[in-house]
């Protein structure tokens, strides 16, 4: 029996009968009017029209010879003949204005309504704002939002992204990204909110609600549908390379990797994009257990699953679990895929027709998938308004610029400071390094273009160099020292070390800006996590002058710098703070603003010791003969949650509402935080738990809550957390959630207290 038949024999997909068929659990409330509209449209569709709704093509299939406009003949073929239901991406991998994008979508919609009577749905990779529009607003990348430990910034970005995307007549974004960034080798770590499941879940769910609004059944003209991605386990490939296999313990898959997706499904996410690679040898696009079992059946989720780029083809031409395209299409749809992103080939529509006619794809599965596509379009109001004439006065407004700047301010992390910061007002500053005078490096990938060619589109914003020159007029000298080779994002070349040393003689401080050029996805694969040899040598040459070096890291992942960090008087990781990142850094280095960012990942120190903060108790280097030390830390450069300020915060009076708990209880945990310094500051207060004895080896600690507080000098605030006892549960070896009797240590700001669970409870339901 081949793999397709195995999937078909074990998979049961129940199609809804009538409107709002009862389900044991349903994360998005059923709306009878929505369902009635779906059934009415479905009942009048031909098989070809149904097949077309399950296919999404790249806009390149519609481009004319100029690659800047739509070819009417191609449009007639794709929409009129094949009945394709969705288009994505931008023409010629070049950003377009709001007006140009809107005009293109209008043309497609007019044809779709004329030829099919069903609106097309257009999708764009808006990752950190309206990032595919030349005139849209960009925010810091998600890794920076994670560093703020402030969900309000995820909400601000989500609302702006939705508003400006809708202004361009696009109702669907492939965002937010919530792959756990737990392996710094992976080239997409910067698209995530960090390594922790709880942080990722909080931020992603907040962005999801902001993008879609409060009612997922009725998305208004200022909101869009999300496609949460990439479901799931995509961010931890064994090789560290993009789109390569992951091997994840079943309990970790449920407990950690599913957590952010579960939070977003519960927040009303209407679509999800599937992991391009495989988990434990099974391609995710063919994994009926995850796609249909975990999501559609266990959650009662009635949204739509879309593939990633050409991943149905990968089932046969890369993964070798299908013999050919036809078998791969059947395998994916029968596993639970509802829309196939087959970017170049409309023949996929005819393949689906053939598979249904021969019974390899059942009519029930076909109709279920079509319902999910139609339901999305009804919820977005596209049948009533395939295009709209709404006015968007806040598009690219000063309001969004202020929000982007504020996010950058709270996301840049001060990792080390030996008294050189803030810079003195009369400082003579030498700026060097390949990242000092580049907007492309501040933005990263998915910025105007796929690989982030931002310098071609945003001359009005300030690089780090320009921002420092404006803040310290006449006091800044610029010598690059090392520059990027435009032929390859990983390559840099030496310009002149001697010139750096010569200019350093006239400077009081050297601001050395190093890191990475922009990249995205597989082109970002690399073989050495160390910062490049040329950039490390630049730091050594700068330090050899005897002038204090402020090392500015502008990077999408934590590149190893253990050998040069001791040479630097201060280290700041700005990550990818986008267009206002240079201005924010100048304000922070000068002391006009105060640092408050904290690392949302572990900054590793050694190439063969890449850890996350929630490692097992058996892993830490200070364990001796079975003795546990829960305050021990790995030998890392900087731990998760590390971040300095120009002021000091003191923690006292950690209190819990009860010394003993049962499974249904909710603990209240409070701590007093005081600003003991002489200037205002913000502090991200992080609450952790440690399970002292468990039936599986426990993690050293897990993040259970966080809150960002602003404190004036001498001010004290009591921070209170609500902690359900069920949050202390873990997934056991049997795949079930369990909370076990025993002691738990709660810790916050260096303080700790014990809480005892007095009962063991095992949940039968997979999601608690």
Domain harbouring 152, CATH code: 3.20.20.300
Do 210 and 273 lie in one domain? The reply is: yes
Do 681 and 747 lie in one domain? The reply is: yes
Do 235 and 334 lie in one domain? The reply is: yes
User: Is 711:674 a contact under the CB 8 Å cutoff?
Assistant: yes
| Average pLDDT score over residue span 508-528 | 96
Count of other CB atoms within 10 angstroms of residue 266:
16
- When the pLDDT of each residue in the chain is averaged and rounded to a whole number, the result is 94
- Bridge partners of residue 678, in order along the sequence: none
Whether 581 maps to a domain, the answer reads yes
CATH number at residue 556: 3.40.50.1700
Whether 614 maps to a domain, the answer reads no
| Residue pLDDT, tens place only, 645-657 | 999 999 999 999 9
- In terms of residue numbers, what domain contains 24? 3-379
Whether 643 maps to a domain, the answer reads no
Do 564 and 462 lie in one domain? The reply is: yes
User: Is 710:724 a contact under the CB 8 Å cutoff?
Assistant: no
**CA distance to 36, 79, 613, per residue, from 43 (Å):** 11, 20, 53
Question: Confidence class of residue 632 from pLDDT cuts 50, 70 and 90?
Answer: low
Do 217 and 312 lie in one domain? The reply is: yes
Do 193 and 269 lie in one domain? The reply is: yes
Do 219 and 366 lie in one domain? The reply is: yes
| Residue pLDDT, tens place only, 233-249 | 999 999 999 999 999 99
Half-sphere exposure of 267 (CA within 13 A, CB side): 28
Do 581 and 695 lie in one domain? The reply is: no
**CA distance to 82, 318, 657, per residue, from 355 (Å):** 16, 22, 60
Whether 493 maps to a domain, the answer reads yes
Helix (H), strand (E) at residue 4: helix 3-10
Largest CA distance in the chain: 80
Whether 620 maps to a domain, the answer reads no
- Final residue before a domain boundary, out of 321, 354, 379: 379
Q: Residue 496: is its pLDDT beyond 80?
A: yes
Distance CA 36, CA 49 (A): 19
| Residue pLDDT, tens place only, 289-342 | 999 999 999 999 999 999 999 999 999 999 999 999 999 999 999 999 999 999
* Helix, coil or strand: residue 39: helix
Whether 567 maps to a domain, the answer reads yes
| Residue pLDDT, tens place only, 127-186 | 999 999 999 999 999 999 999 999 999 999 999 999 999 999 999 999 999 999 999 999
* Helix, coil or strand: residue 35: helix
Sign of CA pseudo-dihedral 316, 322, 323, 326? negative
- pLDDT-wise least confident of 245-259, 476-490, 695-709, 746-760: 476-490
Number of domains in the chain: 3
From the candidates 308, 319, 342, 573, give the one annotated as an active-site residue. Answer: 308
Do 368 and 416 lie in one domain? The reply is: no
Whether 612 maps to a domain, the answer reads no
- pLDDT-wise least confident of 90-104, 390-404, 631-645: 631-645
Do 375 and 417 lie in one domain? The reply is: no
- Final residue before a domain boundary, out of 359, 379, 399: 379
Do 94 and 162 lie in one domain? The reply is: yes
CA angle 577, 510, 645 (to 5 degrees): 50
Distance CA 245, CA 252 (A): 16
Establish whether 308 is a catalytic residue: yes
Distance CA 262, CA 285 (A): 18
CATH number at residue 715: 2.60.40.10
Do 152 and 87 lie in one domain? The reply is: yes
- DSSP code string of 194-210: -S-HHHHHHHHHHHHHH
- Final residue before a domain boundary, out of 556, 590, 624: 590
Whether 605 maps to a domain, the answer reads no
Length of the chain: 768
């Amino acid at each position: 029996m081949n793999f397709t038949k195995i999937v078909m024999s074990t998979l049961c997909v129940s199609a809804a009968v009538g409107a709002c068929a009862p389900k044991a659990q349903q994360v998005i409330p059923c709306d009878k009017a929505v369902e009635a509209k779906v059934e009415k449209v479905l009942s009048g569709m031909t098989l070809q029209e149904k097949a077309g709704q399950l296919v999404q093509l790249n806009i390149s299939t519609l481009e004319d010879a100029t690659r800047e406009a739509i070819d009417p003949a191609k449009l007639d073929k794709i929409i009129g003949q094949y009945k394709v239901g969705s288009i994505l991406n931008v023409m010629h991998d070049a950003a377009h204005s709001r007006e140009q994008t809107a005009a293109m979508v209008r043309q497609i919609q007019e044809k779709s309504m004329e030829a099919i009577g069903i609106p097309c749905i257009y999708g764009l990779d808006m990752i950190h704002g309206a990032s595919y529009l030349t005139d849209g607003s960009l925010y810091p990348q998600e890794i920076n939002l994670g560093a703020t430990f402030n969900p309000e910034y995820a909400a601000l970005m989500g609302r702006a992204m939705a508003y400006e995307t809708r202004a361009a007549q696009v109702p669907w974004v492939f965002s937010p990204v919530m792959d756990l960034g737990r392996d710094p080798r992976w080239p997409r770590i910067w698209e995530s909110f960090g390594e922790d499941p709880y942080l990722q879940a909080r931020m992603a769910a907040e962005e999801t609600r902001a993008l879609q609004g409060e009612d997922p059944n009725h998305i208004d003209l200022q909101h869009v549908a999300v496609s949460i991605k990439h479901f799931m386990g995509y961010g931890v490939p064994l090789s560290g390379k993009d789109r390569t296999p992951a091997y994840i313990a079943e309990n970790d898959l449920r407990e950690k990797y599913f957590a952010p997706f579960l939070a977003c499904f519960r927040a009303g996410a209407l679509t999800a994009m599937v992991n391009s690679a495989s988990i434990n040898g099974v391609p995710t696009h063919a994994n009926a257990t995850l796609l249909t079992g975990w999501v559609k059946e266990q959650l009662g989720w009635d949204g739509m699953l879309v593939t990633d780029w050409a991943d149905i083809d990968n089932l046969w031409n890369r993964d070798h679990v299908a013999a050919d395209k036809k078998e791969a299409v059947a395998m994916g749809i029968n596993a639970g895929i509802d829309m196939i992103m087959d970017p170049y080939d409309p023949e996929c529509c005819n393949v689906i027709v053939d598979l249904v006619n021969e019974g390899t794809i059942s009519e029930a599965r076909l109709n279920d998938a079509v319902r999910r596509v139609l339901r999305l379009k009804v919820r977005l109001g596209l049948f009533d308004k395939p295009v709209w004439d709404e006015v968007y006065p806040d598009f690219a407004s000063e309001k969004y610029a202020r929000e982007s700047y504020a996010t950058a301010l709270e996301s840049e992390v001060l990792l080390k400071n030996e008294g050189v910061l803030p810079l003195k007002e009369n400082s003579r500053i030498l700026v060097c390094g390949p990242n000092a005078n580049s907007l492309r490096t501040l933005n990263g990938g998915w910025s105007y273009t796929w690989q982030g060619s931002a310098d071609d589109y945003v001359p009005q914003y300030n690089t780090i160099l320009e921002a420092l020159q404006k803040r310290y007029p006449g006091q800044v000298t610029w010598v690059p020292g090392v520059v990027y080779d435009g032929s390859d994002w990983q390559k840099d070349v030496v310009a002149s070390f001697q010139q750096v040393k010569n200019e350093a003689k006239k400077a009081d401080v050297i601001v050395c800006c190093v890191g990475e050029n922009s990249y995205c996805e597989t082109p970002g694969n690399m073989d050495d996590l160390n910062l490049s040899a040329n950039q490390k040598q630049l730091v050594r040459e700068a330090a050899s002058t005897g002038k204090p070096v402020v090392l500015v890291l502008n990077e999408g992942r934590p590149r190893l710098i253990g050998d040069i960090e001791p040479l630097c008087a201060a280290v700041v990781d700005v990550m990818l703070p986008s267009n206002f990142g240079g201005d924010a850094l100048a304000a922070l280095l000068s002391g006009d603003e105060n640092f408050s960012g904290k690392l949302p990942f572990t900054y590793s120190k050694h190439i063969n010791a890449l850890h996350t903060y929630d490692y097992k108790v058996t892993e830490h280097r200070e364990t001796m003969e079975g003795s546990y030390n829960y305050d021990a830390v790995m030998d890392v450069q900087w731990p998760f949650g590390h971040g300095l300020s120009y002021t000091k915060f003191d923690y006292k009076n950690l209190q819990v509402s009860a010394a003993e708990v049962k499974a249904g209880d909710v603990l209240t945990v409070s701590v007093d935080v005081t600003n003991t310094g002489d200037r205002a500051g913000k502090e991200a207060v992080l609450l952790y738990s440690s399970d002292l004895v468990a039936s599986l080896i426990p993690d050293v600690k897990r993040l259970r809550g966080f809150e960002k507080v602003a404190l004036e000098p001498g001010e004290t605030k009591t921070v209170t957390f609500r902690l359900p006892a069920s949050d202390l549960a873990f997934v056991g070896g049997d795949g079930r959630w369990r909370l076990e009797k025993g002691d738990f240590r709660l810790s916050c700001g260096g303080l700790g207290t014990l809480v005892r669970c007095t009962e063991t409870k095992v949940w039968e339901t997979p999601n608690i």
